Amino acid sequence: MENISNLSLLLPILGFFTGCCLGSFLNVVAYRVPRDLSIIRPGSCCPNCSAPIPWSLNLPILGWLILKGRARCCSASISPRYFIIELAVGLVFSWFFFTFSSDQEWGTLLASCAFAWVLIGVIVIDLETMIIPDRLSIGGACLGLILSLYFPSIHNIGHHPMGLDNLHSGLTSLVGILIGSGLLYWIGAIASRLFGREALGEGDVKLLGCVGAFCGWQGAVFCIFGGALLGCVCLIPIFIWQRFAKADKQAPGQLAFGVEIPFGPYLSLAALGYFFGLKEWIIPWFEWVDKVTI
């Protein structure tokens, strides 16, 4: 019992440290990938004056706190996004490692960390640039398929008497990619036809393929409607407030009919909710499909 207690204490700490480091790397990805810059070279440098950042000031979380949000080289402001992302990924990973201490499922741990890292990256980049990089969407889909082939526990698939559990899991992931991307593509195509303009970006379609790879087709279908619902819940109150509070002033960046907004963050939030808790409540709603196919 003492060993289990120690493990439950140490693993979250290890997860937090790992998450903070990967969150720091995610900040690099979020800044450089949309600008077509290498994520390897040059090393960390100030985005304002390009001065190299020493390792002692580049520590996750601590670096931003030590500098008080100001670059030491030129006193330029450092976005709190760097601190927030490192802390968020650290806390998420800490929870995953804590969960691992009880279920001991390596596949679930790896998939959870990878999936959350990709989705947090999508949220940050899409909010800032209205772009979902293929490295995250297509790369995430490929990673989800590979992990599914190696770890059937990702899709709650138990041991198969003929040893086909890995194949079953891989097919589940592949079907999730095809149905997720295909369904959102046709929804976007129909909406574009109705409204006479592009309704969904290709990045959203590819992202849903990544969601399907980790969550299966049920999760992909849920995320389409769950993401749309989240978007409505978040944006409609803002739109109404802007409409009545500043009806005579249309400032840049205000919400209005026809204004493009990123859909990726809402898809990602719905996917995180499904993968990390809502799955148990959502899956029974799709049992009628199995009855129809039988």
For every one of its 294 residues, what pLDDT tens digit does the chain have, with 9 covering 90 and above? Answer: 455 456 677 889 999 999 999 999 999 999 999 988 888 888 888 877 878 888 787 889 998 898 888 888 888 888 899 999 999 999 999 999 988 877 778 888 999 999 999 999 999 999 999 999 999 999 999 999 999 999 998 988 876 656 688 899 999 999 999 999 998 888 888 877 877 777 677 899 999 999 999 999 999 999 999 998 998 888 778 777 777 765 545 555 555 555 678 889 999 999 999 988 888 788 777 766 655 444
Question: Does residue 188 share a domain with residue 142?
Answer: yes
Question: Does residue 290 share a domain with residue 212?
Answer: yes
Question: Does residue 123 share a domain with residue 98?
Answer: no
Q: Helix axis angle, 106-129 relative to 134-150, nearest 10°?
A: 170
Strand partners, 137: none
CB atoms under 10 Å from CB of 129, counted, come to 14
Residue that is last in its domain, among 103, 126, 157: 103
| Residue with token string 């790397």 | 25
Cis peptide before 42 (omega within 30 of 0): yes
Phi, psi of 45 (to 5 degrees): -145, 160
| Residue 160 structural domain | 105-294
Give the total number of structural domains in the chain.
2
Question: Does residue 117 share a domain with residue 47?
Answer: no
Question: Does residue 266 share a domain with residue 188?
Answer: yes
Give CA separation, 196 vs 20, 192, 199, 216, 224, in Å: 44, 5, 9, 32, 21
Task: Report the pLDDT value the prediction gives residue 161, as an integer from 0 to 100.
Answer: 59
What is the rounded CA–CA span in Å between residue 108 and residue 135?
Answer: 22
Question: Does residue 112 share a domain with residue 71?
Answer: no
Dihedral sign for Cα 204, 210, 216, 222, please.
Answer: negative
Residue that is last in its domain, among 103, 134, 152: 103
What is the rounded CA–CA span in Å between residue 88 and residue 22?
Answer: 11
Q: What is the pTM of this model?
A: 0.87
Question: Does residue 60 share a domain with residue 14?
Answer: yes
Distance between first and last Cα of the chain: 46
Question: Does residue 94 share a domain with residue 159?
Answer: no
Question: Does residue 124 share a domain with residue 42?
Answer: no
3-state SS class at 152: helix
Task: Report the pLDDT value the prediction gives residue 189, as an integer from 0 to 100.
Answer: 83
Question: Does residue 193 share a domain with residue 119?
Answer: yes
Task: Report the pLDDT value the prediction gives residue 124, as an integer from 0 to 100.
Answer: 95
Question: Does residue 151 share a domain with residue 25?
Answer: no
What is the tally of helices (H) and strands (E) in the chain? 10, 0
Task: Report the pLDDT value the prediction gives residue 236, as an integer from 0 to 100.
Answer: 78
Task: Report the pLDDT value the prediction gives residue 289, as an integer from 0 to 100.
Answer: 61
Question: Does residue 21 share a domain with residue 147?
Answer: no
- CA 55 to chain CA centroid, Å, is 28
Nearest to 277 by CA among 234, 222, 233, 225: 222
What is the rounded CA–CA span in Å between residue 54 and residue 185?
Answer: 45
Enumerate the H helices of 130-247 as residue ranges.
134-150, 165-195, 202-245
